[in-house]
A and B are shown apart, each in its own frame.
Chain A
């Protein structure tokens, strides 16, 4: 029996269960907890793929950072009753189109890759993930990296401007 594959299926199933439970729960806190389960399961899959750095960052940023803030906001406003969907037909149509587009993009990507045929183990870097990711970010991917950091800066300034009390 291939243990790596078994562990992969276990965490993949956990991630899918977490995702489904997350969108079906009515209680916002429960939904957030299931989303954390999904993030952690995906992180575990990264470990099986030999990407330890990606694991650490996934847990640190998504599970440990973003979801904590989500949970914080949910608890602060304390949603008692889930509100019914009240968007009207136009909004429903827009959501459906966007969702279908996203699905199409992902499906196309999956079909073009050799998903399911190639072995799922990536070649781990000899000198370790951390050094490799760092070197790549500051050489080949320098421009996208800088663009993303400017984007984050803009978002941050925007949040400060929105949150500032009116004079």
Chain B
């Protein structure tokens, strides 16, 4: 018989990790389809519609195709780092999911065991997220270098400069939220928003702006996808990658998008809280979902908000042309960093005044 201790400290966390990994991978697979559908809609094109009804099986077909493709390693490549690089990119992307609270309302019970709807509630959650997300760049840089080819190398260098530049406003923009909530724990921040009766996107509108723009730059998405600008660099850092290794890069990119969207939801849009969480009369917004399962509404609102943020991501891609490289750098250093520092100073002053 398995002891109580092992179940509590080993099997339950492991199950949580596996469930979240599975859900995230599935979400990534279908994000690719959603992206193509929405872009097609915006550009008045037909989207993929051949595989399955309305193209719904397209991600599965893509997955099989990527698995079966020939796995090529260039002759002059650094073999070990070439293989290691995509793995190094995927790990931080998934690790970041560990501290994101997907629902609230405390724990729920499965077979008599208390299970939390998040893997870990670390008291330095936000700083942890920053630290982990800063590691993702290694896969891109090493992959570009290990390919031993010109375009990947240029893509890797661009990406390094871009991510280092945008990490600064990325970090500064969340300090305002930490000041308002008085904690760096992700769960604590959502609870603080419930108690404050306001979601932080209102008092932290500049913080949200800087954070989201930097988040788009950090995940190398359009209009900031300079590292893989196909008009100039073929495909940037992953030019030489094929098959499963290429798929790992895509997996990491889309997972990072989901992570950034979840952080935006948690920090600025009240995480799992429904709109106006303190108004009893608006309970109907839960659509009766709380009667089906006690934790469902939390998940429901969290996912709804996260996918709205992801939609904005795709919207940006459909709307803006790619930045030129010097424009990107100027935007980061001349606008984003000063704006985020101003935000910290003003927020600090206001918090100090209100506390008196």
State the A residues within 8 Å of B (CB). Answer: 29-30, 33, 36, 52-53, 55-57, 59-60, 63-65, 68-69, 71-72, 75-76, 128-130
Contacts and interface: CB of A to CB of B under 8 A. Distances in A.
A64 B157 contact: no
Given A52-B123, A64-B167, A130-B123, A59 B157 contact: no
| Secondary structure call for the B interface | helix
Interface stretch (B136-144, B189-197, B271-279): B136-144
B167 A75 contact: no
Given A60-B134, A75-B141, 14 more contacts: A33-B81, A59-B132, A59-B134, A60-B127, A63-B135, A64-B131, A65-B167, A68-B160, A69-B160, A71-B145, A71-B160, A72-B157, A72-B161, A75-B145
B165 to A, nearest CB: 11
Given A53-B124, A129-B124, A130-B124, A72 B160 contact: yes
Interface in B1-39: none
Nearest to A71: B141
B135 A64 contact: yes
Contacts of B137: 64, 68
A60 B124 CA distance: 13
Interface string B78-115: 10010000000000000000000000000000000000
B319 to A, nearest CB: 30
A99 B178 CA distance: 42
25 contacts: A33-B81, A33-B142, A52-B123, A52-B128, A55-B124, A56-B127, A57-B131, A60-B130, A60-B134, A60-B171, A63-B135, A64-B137, A68-B141, A69-B160, A71-B138, A71-B141, A71-B142, A71-B145, A71-B160, A72-B164, A75-B145, A75-B156, A75-B160, A128-B124, A130-B184
Interface in B150-200: 153, 156-157, 160-161, 163-164, 167, 171, 184-185
Contacts of B161: 72
A59 B160 contact: no
Contact of B157 (A29, A36, A75): A75
Contacts of A52: 122-124, 128
Nearest to B9: A3
Contacts of B131: 55-57, 59-60, 63-64
Nearest to B163: A68
Interface residues of B, number: 29
A58 to B, nearest CB: 8
Interface of B: 78, 81, 122-124, 127-128, 130-132, 134-135, 137-138, 141-142, 144-145, 153, 156-157, 160-161, 163-164, 167, 171, 184-185
Contacts, number: 82
Contacts of B141: 68, 71-72, 75
Contacts of B160: 68-69, 71-72, 75
A60 B130 CA distance: 7
Contacts of B78: 29
Contacts of B138: 33, 36, 68, 71
A56 B123 CA distance: 11
A64 B134 contact: yes
Nearest to B141: A71
Contacts of A57: 127, 131
A30 B145 CA distance: 11
A65 B134 contact: yes
Q: Which 10 A-B pairs have the closest CB atoms?
A: A64-B134, A128-B123, A59-B131, A56-B127, A60-B131, A56-B131, A72-B160, A52-B124, A53-B124, A56-B128
B160 to A, nearest CB: 4
Contacts of B144: 75
Contacts of A130: 123-124, 127, 184
A29 B134 contact: no
B122 to A, nearest CB: 6
A71 B141 CA distance: 8
A73 to B, nearest CB: 10
A144 B194 CA distance: 38
Nearest to B134: A64
Contacts of A59: 131-132, 134-135
Contacts of A56: 124, 127-128, 130-131
Contacts of B81: 29-30, 33
Contact of B145 (A29, A36, A65, A69): A29
Contacts of B145: 29, 71, 75
Contacts of A60: 127, 130-131, 134, 171
